[in-house]
């Protein structure tokens, strides 16, 4: 799949129309989801196999990229897991919501490791799906983004594409200053992160978690605090999401020799190891 140009996001419910890809092999479910979202003012493209979904993604990358992908897991052609993996190889920021009847705790952990942002178990409520979409879009720019502008700085292009990161985290701190911790450098404005001199590609959620930790390196963050600040929604005590994302961060940081900076405080949460 080719790298995708910038896509349009919205900052709140119905601020603008989203371009949504729905990959679901059950025609009735696909139609119900698309009809519901189109009534809310969004544009939907239906795909009925994983292979067709990947084709639609490639086609859209050359014209109007999708704002969001909703995909089933058990699909003919390419499986839903393969769809998620293919998207993440070229786009760390594409919001992906999985809908499936096959959602065990192991499935959820696997999906988060692959890069899915959220999941819904079938049968699901359409209003809940709408709310999950709003959560994914909540911190996006309020204006349509533009493709990377020639001559623009990396930070300017990042803000144009994704909008500024959420300002409500940790009391609305000034976001422009470069954050440093030992050999880490995090640029909140440019949305870039370097460890031991090497740039590390992070998903939106991984970046938010590191930013929270680096702004308060002496604080022990509970899983609930990390979840609610990074995701902007209530935490469920049954949710293993934070553990999975921290595990993903450690895996990405291991080649830089800095994975040990992330310290687990047993029975409490996470902090940075000085």
Is the pLDDT higher at 49 or at 90?
Answer: 49
Residue 212 located in a structural domain: yes
Residue 152 located in a structural domain: no
In b/e form, how buried is each residue of 50-64, taking b as 16+ CB within 10 angstroms?
A: bbbbbebbeebbeee
**Mean pLDDT along residues 246-273:** 91
Give me the percent of the chain exceeding a pLDDT of 70.
78
| 148 close to 157: Cβ distance less than 8 angstroms | yes
Is the pLDDT higher at 140 or at 21?
Answer: 21
In terms of Cα–Cα distance, which of 249, 226, 225, 242 is closest to 109?
242
Could you give the number of structural domains in the chain?
Answer: 2
Asked if residue 23 has pLDDT above 50, the reply is: yes
Instruction: Mark whether 46 and 124 lie in a shared domain.
Output: yes
Residue 155 located in a structural domain: no
Residue 144 located in a structural domain: no
pLDDT of 27 reads: 92
Number of helices and strands in the chain (H, E): 9, 12
pLDDT of 40 reads: 92
Q: CB atoms < 10 A from the CB of 92, how many?
A: 16
Asked if residue 168 has pLDDT above 60, the reply is: no
Element spanning 165, H or E: none
Residue 7 located in a structural domain: no
- Name the phi and psi angles at 254, rounded to 5: -55, -40
* Tens of pLDDT, residues 88-134: 888 888 899 999 887 777 887 888 888 888 888 888 889 889 988 98
Instruction: Mark whether 126 and 173 lie in a shared domain.
Output: no
> Residue 201 is part of which domain span?
165-272
* Tens of pLDDT, residues 107-120: 878 888 888 888 88
* Tens of pLDDT, residues 177-236: 899 999 999 998 888 999 999 999 888 888 989 999 999 988 999 888 888 887 766 666
Asked if residue 77 has pLDDT above 60, the reply is: yes
Instruction: Mark whether 189 and 130 lie in a shared domain.
Output: no
Asked if residue 146 has pLDDT above 50, the reply is: no
Report helix, strand or coil for 1: coil
Residue 183 located in a structural domain: yes
Instruction: Mark whether 25 and 125 lie in a shared domain.
Output: yes
Instruction: Mark whether 25 and 126 lie in a shared domain.
Output: yes
Instruction: Mark whether 123 and 55 lie in a shared domain.
Output: yes
| CATH code of 118's domain | 3.40.50.2300
Instruction: Mark whether 115 and 170 lie in a shared domain.
Output: no
- Quote the mean pLDDT of the chain: 79
Instruction: Mark whether 82 and 171 lie in a shared domain.
Output: no
Give me the percent of the chain exceeding a pLDDT of 90.
42
Residue 252 located in a structural domain: yes
Pairing of strands 192-195, 198-199: antiparallel
Instruction: Mark whether 130 and 230 lie in a shared domain.
Output: no
- Which of 45-59, 131-145, 149-163 shows the lowest per-residue confidence on average (mean pLDDT)? 149-163
| CATH code of 174's domain | 1.10.10.10
Instruction: Mark whether 131 and 204 lie in a shared domain.
Output: no
Residue 131 located in a structural domain: yes
């Amino acid at each position: 799949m080719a790298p995708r140009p910038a896509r349009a996001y919205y900052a709140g419910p119905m601020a603008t129309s989203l371009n949504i890809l729905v990959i679901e092999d059950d025609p009735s479910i696909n139609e119900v989801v698309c009809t519901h979202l189109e009534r809310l003012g969004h544009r939907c493209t239906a795909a009925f196999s994983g292979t067709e979904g990947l084709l639609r993604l490639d086609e859209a990358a050359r014209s109007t990229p999708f704002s969001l992908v909703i995909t089933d897991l058990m699909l003919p052609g390419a499986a839903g897991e393969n769809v998620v993996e293919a998207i993440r190889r070229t786009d760390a920021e594409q919001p992906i919501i999985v809908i499936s009847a096959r959602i065990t705790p192991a499935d959820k952990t696997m999906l988060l490791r692959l890069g899915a942002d959220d999941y819904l178990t079938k049968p699901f409520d359409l209003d809940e799906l709408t709310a999950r979409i709003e959560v994914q879009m909540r911190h996006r720019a309020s204006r349509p983004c533009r493709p990377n502008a020639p001559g623009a700085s990396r930070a300017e292009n990042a803000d144009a594409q994704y909008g500024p990161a959420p300002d409500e985290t940790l009391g609305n701190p000034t976001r422009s200053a470069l954050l440093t911790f030992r050999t880490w450098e995090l640029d909140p404005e440019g949305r870039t992160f370097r460890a031991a001199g090497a740039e590390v590609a992070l998903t939106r959620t991984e970046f938010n978690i590191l930013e929270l930790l680096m702004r308060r390196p002496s604080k022990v963050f509970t899983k609930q605090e990390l979840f609610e600040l990074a995701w902007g929604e209530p935490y469920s005590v049954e949710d293993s999401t934070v553990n999975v994302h921290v595990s993903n961060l450690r895996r990405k940081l291991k080649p830089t020799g800095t994975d040990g900076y992330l310290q687990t405080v047993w029975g409490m949460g996470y902090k940075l190891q000085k």
